[in-house]
Structure 1
Amino acid sequence: MIQIIYTSIAADDLPQGEVFNIVSHSASRNADRNLTGFLCFSKNRFFQILEGDPGTVDTLMAVLKDDPRHHSVEILDRSPIKDRAFPKWWMKRVPAVTNIAELEETIPSLKDTSSKATKALRQFLTV
């Protein structure tokens, strides 16, 4: 299994309710693909962690890179993992927060994720 962490910038014309649609659609599709993770949307930017089979994650990333709802996809980390950090989340939307402590209250399992993930998320929240 692998975990991939990426950020991107929302398209200027992204409809207000589209993030909810993305999460809802992803949750149902990811269950079929055995992918887990979460999505955070803040200040017109996306932060996402995906976990699953390398081929499945890479295929999804190829699709995401061509999705017109966002641009400037930047992969921050792609690492092999032994266990999932978010085993019960086919896709969860994490509310916008301003700091990592606030996010760790929302996602207690984040405290146990790789330091790469928390470092990347900390950077994302401070931009």
Structure 2
Amino acid sequence: MKPPQQFSHSSPEDNSDSEFVQELQEVERSLVSLKERYNQVQSDKEHKAQLQQRRQDLQQSKNLTSEIKAELRQIKQQLEVLEINLESQLFSWRTFKKPFWQAVRFGGMGVIIGWILKSWVR
């Protein structure tokens, strides 16, 4: 025997509440993501400053041995990676997603309105 089915009658208020809860959860996830990115950027900046100081100290040493030269090359590579990380963390698709689609939508509307006006003038 099957259990009786229950029908849920959702009111528009329930729907708007669930939409609000979903939006709130999305905002919370975005905030957590932003905090993580901020912490990572701060950490990378500190590491970059330490590497630059170490590089400067090594370059000022009188006798540049092969070990020092190798460490300088390694520091240079690490600094390049940090620069890329810092730049990529500042700009992401998520930050440009909404403005991009708004530009596409309104730009497209402008083209369509332009075609209509041009055909009207003829």
TM class, shorter-chain normalised? under 0.3
Q: Report which structure shows greater RCO (CA 8 Å, sep ≥6).
A: 1
TM-score (norm 2): 0.22
Could you say which structure has the higher helix fraction?
Answer: 2
> Counting strand residues as a fraction of each chain, which structure ranks higher?
1
Q: TM-score, normalised by structure 1?
A: 0.21
Instruction: From the CA coordinates, give the structure whose radius of gyration is larger.
Output: 2
